[in-house]
Amino acid sequence: MMLWNLDPPITNSKFIRLFELGEVSFMNTYIIAEMAWSYTGSQERALEMLEGAAKAGANAISIHITDMPTYMVEDYKCIVGTTLSDSADQEASIYNFLEQINLTSKQWIEFDSRATELDIDVVVMCNDRVSFEFSKSLNVNRYVISAASFLELDFIEEIVKVNKDIILRTGGATVEEVEKVLERIFATESSAKVCLLAGIQLYPTPIEELHLASLSVIADRFGREGVSVGLADHIDGDHPYAIHLPALALAYGAKMLEKHITTDRKEKLEDYEAALGIEQFASFVDYIRTAELALGNGSIDYMKDSNAYIKYRQAARKKIVATSDLSAGTILTRGMLAFKRADYGAQLDALDLLIGQPLKTDKKCDDGIDVADVVFSD
């Protein structure tokens, strides 16, 4: 099967330049590089992904902070299936694996400090109350409510009370469950805004399970001030359109996109299935910014005010020209005027203004006639 050869996108540096010049007034999609557990116990690898995400132009990097004893029972077996289940002893618990690769509090503090230096937001998924308390020592921009904690309403309320925006992962939740959680969130005294982040992780998720068109339905169903929608994309990172398909979510109202990142897909580290390598992730960000440019800001003011549309309108439309040679002083009649494509002449809606007015100068056949070419009586 032949795949389309997609042209390279506008590079991120050019996009930033256009934005600074005021030629792009909307770069509103909040792009998150989801690191999850792909660092596999290596702080160096975690920092490499952080640097890569920042350089790519991501708005944020998402991390999972976990105190294993309060998050998971020791004999838990992952139901969905992960890299662990594919490559490790099937009888080994995911608990022990994650405990081994978990970063320490000190390492997370150092990671957070570096993120601040790089001016990239840190989005935190606290998998338990112990981790949440620790997270208060970090410069957290947003909190993620995971699928695991989706109905843990008291815990969610505690998080909401710190007045940080909330990313509510709706993957696996029913409509009624989303309503219940939103009701609790907005009953809590807080200034937090909520993004409903659709998408499930099936290592990887089949394309037919993206349900991108449902984003606009979700937005309509749960729409209210302070609520937006987004997509957590988990399709196969090796799919030829892995960096392109998520851009379609923007057309259905997504204000946030999350994509897994890894150092190198060839290493097949934890959570690699739906992840992009660092260079791929940079291309992903470029395509999203290009899609934003193509989509525009949703206004139809451009039909009147866009310089490009004005130029096209002036060049493409027929103009008013003379049907024969005309002398100065000739009183114009309808029969003396024709409509043809020309470089000079009045737009057709000026016809009534010209009829009955005398010419200032001679005009040859097919010369354009504009309102400046006639003498208007007082």
CATH number of the structural domain 304-373: 3.90.1210.10
- Sort strands 227-233 and 194-198 into parallel, antiparallel or unpaired: parallel
Q: Give the separation between CA 378 and CA 375, rounded to whole angstroms.
A: 9
Q: Judge whether residue 21 has pLDDT over 70.
A: no
- Chain-wide mean pLDDT for the chain? 90
Q: Poorest-confidence range of 84-98, 126-140, 153-167, 202-216?
A: 84-98
- pLDDT tens digits for range 89-108: 545 578 999 999 999 999 99
* pLDDT value of residue 78: 67
Q: Which class for 144: exposed (0-12), middle (13-18), buried (19 or more C-beta within 10 A)?
A: buried
pLDDT at residue 280 above 70?
A: yes
Q: Which residues contact 362 (CB under 8 A, 6 or more apart)?
A: 325, 326, 327, 328
| Structural fold of domain 12-298 | TIM Barrel (3.20.20)
In the chain, % of residues over pLDDT 70: 89
Structure tokens at 206: 């089949």
Instruction: For the beta carbon of residue 229, count every other beta carbon within 10 angstroms.
Output: 26
- CA 97 to CA 112: how far, in whole Å? 24
Phi, psi dihedral angles at 194 (to 5 degrees): -125, 135
The secondary structure of 222-244 as a DSSP string is: H--TTEEEEEEE-S-TTSTTTTT
> Token pair of 328, please?
């100065």
Is 304-373 in the same CATH topology as 12-298? Answer: no
d(CA 196, CA 232): 10
Handedness of CA 289, 1, 214, 296 (dihedral sign): positive
Q: What is the pLDDT of residue 27?
A: 60
Asked if the model's pLDDT at residue 12 lies above 60, the reply is no
Which amino acid belongs to residue 371? V
How would you classify the pairing of strands 60-65 and 121-126? parallel
First to last CA, the chain: 72
Residue 120 and residue 109 in contact, taking contact as beta carbons nearer than 8 Å = no
User: What are 220-252's pLDDT values in tens digits?
Assistant: 999 899 999 999 999 999 999 999 999 999 999
H/E element holding 316? helix 307-316
Identify the band that residue 257 occupies on the pLDDT scale cut at 50, 70 and 90: very high
Per-residue confidence (pLDDT) for residue 109, from 0 to 100? 98
pLDDT of residue 279: 97
For the chain, give every domain's residue range. Answer: 12-298, 304-373
Is pLDDT above 50 for 156? Answer: yes
Give the pLDDT band (50/70/90) at residue 77: confident
